[in-house]
Amino acid sequence: MSQIDVLVSEVGPRDGLQMASAVMPTEFKKRWIAAAVEAGLREIEVCSFVPPKIVPAMADAAEVTAYACSFPGLTVAVLAPNLRGAENAMKAGAHKITVPISASEAHNKANVNRTREESVADIARICELRDSLPKAERPVIEGGLSTVWGCTISGLVPQDDVVRLSAALVEAGVDEVGLADTTGMADPASIKSVFKAVRAEIGEEKLGGAHLHNTRGLGLANALAALEVGITTLDSSLAGLGGCPFAPGASGNIVTEDLVYMLEEMGLKTGIDLKKLIACREVLREGLPEEPLYGFIAEVGPEKGGKSVEKIAAA
Ligand code: ZN
């Protein structure tokens, strides 16, 4: 596989679908994964291992994970909120398991009904479970720190809390710590400041990617800020899936198509074919007909974006 500069990690099948108003049939999830791989995506977060009673959209998690594992070279990432979920994810063969923990104590309690310290202890048990597997079968465990740039319950989250929790996660045994702007409250300056502070504490090797939401329209600006401080893994979602009905176009992840366009225009290699990526939207259109699709590049078309004669002539 050719060398890339930035790893674009597609999280739509997990983050997008768990927010969608309807459940996407399993066959469409598989078509989406196949189309994304065909477009050049190398990492896809395909599902979440949560009780189907709580999130019916993820009832087929094991089947979808096993299917994704059939594509050679694809890193199959999943989310698991607790030990039980992580155990199921390992059984299904996931390559990377993100375990979420909120940087905000109030949000962590509301979300997973335990304190942050209890969450760290749970993550330590997940890491022990990983270590009990033969080396070749061990998944990468990512501590996914959420609400890093602000919480809808308690407001601002102190940077010191984020740094302290990152260190605690490394201590618990995670392979990397990813930082998520769950609420879309970051700005480019705070992105840089937090990533630098966490890197200074845990080191380059343990620092994972940036998971950004576009709630206030700063998603791509924040992605650029993360790149500028050396972050090379960026999460995004096809068509910005996951939008909130009360804030149209605002609450989903940053749009994969627009992110890939920006990176490639900057001369950074993603390994992704933009036209094929845009074609993936067809699967969403068919599989979730009620769901709005966002993104600028899909609207204007990729052919106008390249350094074409047309563009040079118009400049
Ligand atoms: Zn998210």
Distance CA 287, CA 6 (A): 29
pLDDT digits (tens, 9 = 90+) for 86-114: 999 999 999 999 999 999 999 999 888 89
Give the Å distance between the CA of 299 and the centre of ligand 1: 24
| Ligand 1 centroid from CA 153, angstroms | 16
CA nearest to 259, candidates 226, 308, 307: 226
Which percentage of the chain shows pLDDT scores above 70? 93
Whole-number Cα distances in Å, 108 to 44, 180, 286? 25, 14, 35
pLDDT in tens, 25-53: 999 999 999 999 999 999 999 999 999 99
Whole-number Å distance between alpha carbons of 311 and 302? 12
Q: Which residue, among 194, 255, 235, has the nearest Cα to 98 in the 3D structure?
A: 235
Separation of 84 CA from ligand 1 center, angstroms? Answer: 21
Contact at 8 Å (CB) between 62 and 88? Answer: yes
15 Cα: distance to centroid of ligand 1 (angstroms): 5
Asked if residue 302 lies in contact with residue 261, where contact means CB atoms within 8 angstroms, the answer is: yes
Measured in angstroms, how far is the CA atom of residue 254 from the centroid of ligand 1?
9
Taking 60 as the threshold, does the pLDDT of residue 183 lie above it?
A: yes
Please report the pLDDT score of residue 154 as a whole number: 87
4-13 pLDDT, tens digit per residue, is: 999 999 999 9
Is the model's pLDDT at 310 over the cut of 80? no
Domain 7-314 class in CATH: alpha beta
Residue showing tokens 């790149």: 227
Question: For all residues of the chain together, what is the average pLDDT?
Answer: 93
- Of the chain, the percentage scoring pLDDT greater than 90 comes to 84
Report pLDDT for 303.
Answer: 75
Quickly state the pLDDT bin for 60 (edges 50, 70, 90): very high
- In angstroms, rounded to a whole number, what is the distance separating the alpha carbons of residues 303 and 297? 10
Q: 125-164: per-residue pLDDT in tens?
A: 999 999 999 999 999 999 999 999 999 888 899 999 999 9
pLDDT at 137: 95
pLDDT at 246 over 50: no
Using the mean position of ligand 1's atoms as its centre, give its distance from the Cα of residue 85 in Å.
Answer: 18
Catalytic, 280? Answer no
Catalytic residue among 127, 151, 244, 280: 244
Query: Angle formed by the axes of helices 116-131 and 105-112, to 10°?
Result: 60
Would you say residue 308 has pLDDT above 60?
A: no
Give the Cα separation of 150 and 145 in Å (integer): 12
Q: What is the mean pLDDT of residues 202-224?
A: 97
Q: How far is the CA of 312 from the centre of ligand 1 (A)?
A: 37
Cβ distance 234 to 41 under 8 Å? no
The confidence score (pLDDT) of residue 314 equals 57
Number of other residues whose CB lies within 10 A of the CB of residue 35: 19
Render 111-145 in DSSP notation, one character per residue.
HHSS-HHHHHHHHHHHHHHHHTS-GGGPPEEEEEE
| Region label for 210, one of left (φ > 0), alpha (ψ between -120 and 50) or beta (otherwise) | beta
Label residue 242 by pLDDT band (50, 70, 90). confident
More confident residue, 60 or 291: 60
The domain limits of the chain are 7-314
